[in-house]
Amino acid sequence: MDDLDKYFKDEVEYCPWIDKSPEIIAQQKIWQSELKEKYGAEFGEGVFVSRQARIFRIERLRLGERSFICADALLRELDLTTGANCSFNSDCYIQGKIVLGNDVRIAPKACIIGMNHIFTDPDRRMTNQGLSSKGIEIGDDIWIGAGSVVLDGVKIGSHSIIGAGSIVTKEVPPYSVVGGNPARVIRNRESPSVLDNRSLSDRLAKFDGRLRGEWEAVLAFYEREDKGRVIYADSPKKQPTIRAWCDAVEIAAMFGDIPSLMPREELITTLQKLQKTTVDYDVLTVGYALEVLGSRPAMPFSQADEIATRLSEYLNSRDWGGDVWGSGADIDHFGTAVYFNHRYFNHPHYLEPLFGWLSLHVNPVTGMWGRNQRGDLRLVVNGFYRLTRGTYAQFGVNLPYPEQSIDTLLCHGASQKYFSDGIGNACDVLDVIHPLWLCGRQTDYRKNEGIEWAVRQINRILRCWQPGRGFSFDLEDGCEPSLQGTEMWLSILYLLCDYVGLRGSLS
């Protein structure tokens, strides 16, 4: 009988929400009185604190009614206040200044640490620099999963779920599901999740199947005769361009193939010859087309080395007030030429002076370079895309102010002038989604709003495919399709789907 009594006592210590015998309730009152006397603790009605919990050096302990602390939980150096119906499971670790709302569940092995070591002085050992504590605030109706860690200074919004094993280093918005290291917002619990949107995923997969059946016919539509040979033109009515060849190569590459006009080696030779006449944007088109063919530029882009000799003068001379788009494009061309020259010809990469200048001239309020024009953000956002694409994205460098950049991008993305049904073009959408996608590598800030915007664009794009012709550059009805429009919208669609977590629906 003694063994059975011990079993039931231990069961309550580890599962304090179960019914309790009068004897256990009486023992609990004695234990709580001891904690009140030692630490000045305060307990609401129905609270249970396991005697097998490890509780040391408590500054404040206030537990709301029906709250529980299980056996083997460790609480030390603590200033803890909870609302009603909170639970601390076995092997969780709680330290520092922490405030919980109502209905918070803390799973086994979770760590909530509301303090940190100071380490600002590299000349002193950390053990001599003391501790700091910003405190942790946890709202109502929250589940903190097993093995997760919440660090000092974090606020977790109400109705959120912290996935098992997550490392939470920054504020969590209400109704969020977060996971990972560092933790990122996976979805919002209030609205249907894009990631769970079967309808959109099925539509994308159906569209992808259609693309795989039509892409060769689309390229054939843009073939035309020129001086006795067949070439690509952006549209049947336009003159041939370098970009048309490159767009055709990249569209075919999306489906693991090459255009049918000529063999791979002949295509490579053709593009390498075209490189001799490349300037500005053609540096990008020819260089990347050669890469997707498994080749490389035939020679360095000499303009990059020439600009590098006077880089600061060159950057300062851009028109950052009147022509932000052009200024960003110039840096995109330079950065891309530097990328090719360094990768294939071992030229200097010039990254230190380039990123040094950029870091000194970025606006910390908007996260952008240059100024908007009369309240219209279109040019500054376009310039931001071009500048960051050829520099930060291409060389894998973190943006200086990603959250401020997201604020600016979403503000512009809300413009009905450029993003309502039947209005806008490929550049407008690309200018927002590529930077959002890039910022998303650093932060989940406002991710749900970004996802909602991206889904609207996906729906707009899927309505505008012209069978056997592709996409027009503009989304307006009746616009002529083009190779450029087709290549851009397919690339944009991929970025949008990757951003919202539906990349697997596409080839």
Instruction: Report the pLDDT value the prediction gives residue 238, as an integer from 0 to 100.
Output: 79
| pTM (whole model) above 0.85 | no
Domain assignment present for 142:
yes
* Total domains, the chain: 3
The answer to whether the beta carbons of residues 442 and 402 sit under 8 Å apart is: yes
Stronger pLDDT, 227 or 147, i.e. the higher one: 147
For 315, residues 6+ apart whose C-beta sits below 8 A from its C-beta are 331, 357, 361
1 pLDDT band, cuts 50/70/90, is: very low
Q: What percent of the chain has pLDDT over 70?
A: 95
CATH of the domain at 160: 2.160.10.10
Domain assignment present for 82:
yes
6 plus 155 within the same structural domain: yes
Task: Confirm whether 159 is a catalytic residue.
Answer: no
Instruction: Report the pLDDT value the prediction gives residue 8, as an integer from 0 to 100.
Output: 54
Structural domain range at position 144: 2-190
Domain assignment present for 339:
no
9 plus 88 within the same structural domain: yes
Residue 3 has pLDDT above 60, yes or no: no
39 plus 152 within the same structural domain: yes
Domain assignment present for 317:
no
217 plus 264 within the same structural domain: no
Token couple for 143: 């589940």
418 plus 484 within the same structural domain: yes
CA-based torsion, 403, 405, 407, 409: positive or negative: negative
34 plus 159 within the same structural domain: yes
Comparing 36-50, 143-157, 190-204, 326-340, the range with the smallest average pLDDT is 190-204
Task: Tell me the per-residue pLDDT of 189-247, one tens digit each, with 9 for 90 and over.
Answer: 765 554 456 688 889 999 999 999 999 999 999 998 888 888 899 987 777 788 898 99
For 491, residues 6+ apart whose C-beta sits below 8 A from its C-beta are 250, 430
259 plus 204 within the same structural domain: no
Task: Tell me the per-residue pLDDT of 266-281, one tens digit each, with 9 for 90 and over.
Answer: 999 988 888 776 666 6
- Supply angle C-alpha 366, 193, 200, rounded to 5: 100
Q: Measuring CA to CA, which residue among 502, 447, 364 is closest to residue 170?
A: 447
**Catalytic residue of the set 117, 347, 412, 434:** 117
Residue 184 has pLDDT above 90, yes or no: no
Mean pLDDT of the chain: 90
Domain end residue (candidates: 299, 326, 349): 299
134 plus 39 within the same structural domain: yes
Domain assignment present for 318:
no
Task: Tell me the per-residue pLDDT of 45-54, one tens digit each, with 9 for 90 and over.
Answer: 999 999 999 9
Domain assignment present for 245:
yes
Domain end residue (candidates: 190, 210, 232): 190
Domain assignment present for 158:
yes
Q: Measuring CA to CA, which residue among 49, 62, 56, 41 is closest to residue 13?
A: 49
CA-based torsion, 277, 280, 283, 289: positive or negative: negative
110 plus 134 within the same structural domain: yes
108 plus 240 within the same structural domain: no
DSSP per-residue codes, 326-347: HHHHHHHHHHHHHHHHHHHH--
185 plus 287 within the same structural domain: no
Task: Tell me the per-residue pLDDT of 12-40, one tens digit each, with 9 for 90 and over.
Answer: 899 998 888 898 999 999 999 999 999 99
Domain end residue (candidates: 299, 320, 343): 299
Task: Tell me the per-residue pLDDT of 474-484, one tens digit each, with 9 for 90 and over.
Answer: 987 778 999 99
333 pLDDT band, cuts 50/70/90, is: very high
213 plus 123 within the same structural domain: no
Residue 2 burial (CB < 10 Å; 0-12/13-18/19+)? exposed
Instruction: Report the pLDDT value the prediction gives residue 143, as an integer from 0 to 100.
Output: 96
